Amino acid sequence: MTHKRQRDKPLILMLDDNPVNLEELAGLVDEAGFDVLRAETGEVALVQAVAQLPDLILLDVMMPGMDGFTVCQTLKTIPTTRDIPVLFMTALADTADKLKGFQVGAVDYITKPFQYEEVLARVQTHLTLQKLKLELQEKEQRLSRIFENAMDAILTLDEAGRITLFNAAAEQMFRCKAADNIGRAVDRFLSPELYKTLTNFRNGVPAEQAIWVSEGMSAVRADESTFPIEATISRVEAIGQKLYILILRDINERKARQQAEAECNTLRGINLYLQEEVLASRDGEELIGNSPALHQAMDLVRQVADTDATVLITGETGTGKELIARAIHNLSARKDKTLVKLNCATIPENLAESELFGHEKGSFTGAIARKLGRFELANGGTLFLDEIGELPLEMQAKLLRVLQEGEFERVGGTQTLTCDVRVIAATHRDLAQFSQQGKFRADLYYRLNVFPINLPPLRERKEDVPFLVKHFIDKYAAKFGKKIQSIPERMMADLQSYFWPGNIRELQHIIERAVILTKGSQLAAVDCVNVMGAGAPTAAPIVTLDEAERAHILKALEATSWRIAGNQGAAKILGVPSTTLRSRMEKLGISKPV
């Protein structure tokens, strides 16, 4: 209500042309705990009413100039004052005058001479009624907002089944205006089965206050098209009448909304994956060095980048195969698209197909939403399949089909999808030997080996070690807030003489450790490399059986990228069950490095 204001006490406006009566009545009302405004003319009363918006107005009827009837009639034409209750104070006994007062908008009258108890009782009664009226209006407005903003269609019906309320969602659902349907029978919007259910409920079957109508019923739009619904029907008592509330939800829209939410979640996952890929590409080390072996590899990169040829990158672990893949992508016409990667050694065999090709909702336990595979994510761009030699044989056949035909299906799906993806694969395995042994499909090997690039190990490009050392020192000094200006000559000589079985990755970790230990401007010397000279490692000393077994298991695990089970796992190579290998690993204290 526009005239309601927050006050400590109700405010009453009094209009009377007799100052004595006005003062006497004002004193009485003031003593009763009300605030009072006084006016002796109708014009003054109107000004005060508009400015102060009192809670109640007492008007004298017979006054010179503008009389009480005219004041009341004028108040009812002003939006901010029309709902303020008006009581007439009159000595007139004529019934026609009293009726005129009600006709111009008064709610009651007080007869002069005043009986003060009656005045206070009537004032208090109408203030209470006004308060209750305002509270009811606020509740109705709140309920109306709830009805109008509800996502489900809400219809209220009278006892005869006529529509008394038709909210905005119902307008959208049935594609018609509420104004055209208020007062009309509801059966035009319900299928015969649903209308029968409603009729039985109105007749008391069942006797509950509300029932749930699950899937299987339908409703009818204004254009007579039907659609499946789920609904609740309830009954309420209001002012001695029964009302029925029908809440309807379009099942097709609900399912479409759920599908849209699932797609949105999928897109969020894609966005998160792409953000991680962007960060990874920025954090990846550049190809550092000036050796002939590195120059030869980079020449091959530049030659193949502008084509869509499949590339197979080979080399020992830690030589930078992913960096070569990124370099090919960044120099290609696909550089503005995404480089998506998948490490085939880290995915479980039963999830490999889903990771590559995606899956449909419900295709297997845990598939709560559709998921896009790496080929869909990389459409138009490049897919880097790292450690391709670890891909299960069953998946190799499906990968070959995509490479040859550019077609695939999601797990659990029937639609054949096409993609435009440039594939770059990498492995530390000898795939030619693997194919001869039946561990890798020969046809897939030949399909991948269109353009091979071999990365030499770090021991074959010793001249690049100083460049890499400086690069890693600069990186980690900035990361840990240190300023390192030099490196001990002996340490540099050791680094260049070392055999580097872990290649560039091992060098990177050694430099990171040295930077952490550095306290001054010179890189701290770390006793973590064994100088091997120019040749291969010297013969190892004799060790215990447990030590020998531990070293042998570690070698198998490193060769399989710590994959234990499966045809390409360490257990298979060692010729023992995976459970036995896990048991021996636990006994010997072997765990995968973080």
Q: How far apart are CA 298 and CA 316, in angstroms?
A: 17
Instruction: Enter the DSSP assignment of 286.
Output: P
Instruction: For 317-354, write each residue's pLDDT tens digit.
Output: 989 999 999 999 999 999 988 899 999 988 888 889 99
Mode of pairing for the β-strands spanning 311-314 and 451-454: parallel
> Each residue of 85-111: pLDDT tens digit?
999 887 766 667 778 888 888 888 887
Backbone angles phi, psi at 82, to 5 degrees: -65, -25
Mean pLDDT across the stretch 359-376?
A: 86
pLDDT digits (tens, 9 = 90+) for 275-319: 555 555 444 445 788 889 889 999 999 999 999 999 999 999 989
Residue 533 — very low, low, confident or very high, per pLDDT cuts 50/70/90?
Answer: very low
Assess whether pLDDT exceeds 50 at residue 531.
no
Contact call for residues 538 and 529 (beta carbons, < 8 A): no
Give dist(CA 46, CA 50) in Å, integer: 6
Is the Cβ–Cβ distance between 26 and 60 less than 8 Å? no
Q: What is the pLDDT of residue 451?
A: 96
pLDDT for 307: 95
Mean pLDDT of the chain: 86
* pTM of this structure: 0.49
Is residue 107 left, alpha or beta, with left meaning phi > 0 and alpha meaning psi from -120 to 50?
alpha
Structure confidence at residue 256 (pLDDT): 80
Q: What is the pLDDT of residue 118?
A: 81
Q: How far apart are CA 96 and CA 73, in angstroms?
A: 16
pLDDT band at 477 (very low <50, low <70, confident <90, very high): very high
Q: Residue 542: what pLDDT? A: 66
d(CA 375, CA 445) in angstroms, rounded, equals: 19
224 phi, psi to nearest 5 deg: 75, 10
* 502 — pLDDT class (breaks 50, 70, 90): confident
Which has the closest alpha carbon to 552: 575, 529, 579? 575
More confident residue, 501 or 151: 501
The pLDDT value recorded for residue 497 is: 86
User: What proportion of the chain, given as a percentage, has pLDDT over 90?
Assistant: 46
DSSP 2: T
Task: Say what the pLDDT of residue 2 is.
Answer: 47
How many CA atoms are closer than 13 Å to the CA of 285, on its beta-carbon side?
22
Identify the DSSP state of 411.
B
Mention every residue, 6+ apart, whose C-beta is less than 8 A from residue 533: 497
Q: What value does the CA radius of gyration of the chain take, rounded to a whole number of Å?
A: 43
